Amino acid sequence: MLWYLLKLAIMLPLIAGLIWGVLKLAKHMQQRQQAGGQARAVRIVETQMLSPTMKLAVIEFHGREILVSASRSGLTRLAEAPARGSFAEMVE
């Protein structure tokens, strides 16, 4: 019984440390990939929750703004319009 508790006391922190290290590495790799300097073709402009299972989102894609509904069943395109400029561009 003592041998089991000793193994548990050693292995549990080791496994927890490995899990923590993998999560930190994944976060670092994700941030590094996003900061690659590549221009993104898709940008989420705004989102609005309608209910716990339904959300509206405005997505900018190649100079177009697309209004989509996101629910458990998937995405549905509701409307499409030319992209508006950013707020900084509108003020100038």
Q: Are residues 49 and 81 in the same domain?
A: yes
Q: Are residues 33 and 51 in the same domain?
A: no
Q: Across the beta sheet with 74-82, what order do the strands follow?
A: 42-51, 54-61, 64-71, 74-82
Q: Are residues 32 and 48 in the same domain?
A: no
- For residue range 2-40, what is the model confidence (pLDDT) as tens digits? 899 999 999 999 999 999 999 999 999 888 877 665 667
Cβ atoms of 55 and 69 within 8 Å: the answer is yes
Residue ranges making up the domain that contains 27: 1-38
Q: Are residues 67 and 26 in the same domain?
A: no
Q: Are residues 87 and 61 in the same domain?
A: yes
Which pTM was predicted?
Answer: 0.51
Q: Are residues 33 and 50 in the same domain?
A: no
Q: Are residues 47 and 74 in the same domain?
A: yes
Confidence label for 42 from pLDDT (cuts 50, 70 and 90): confident
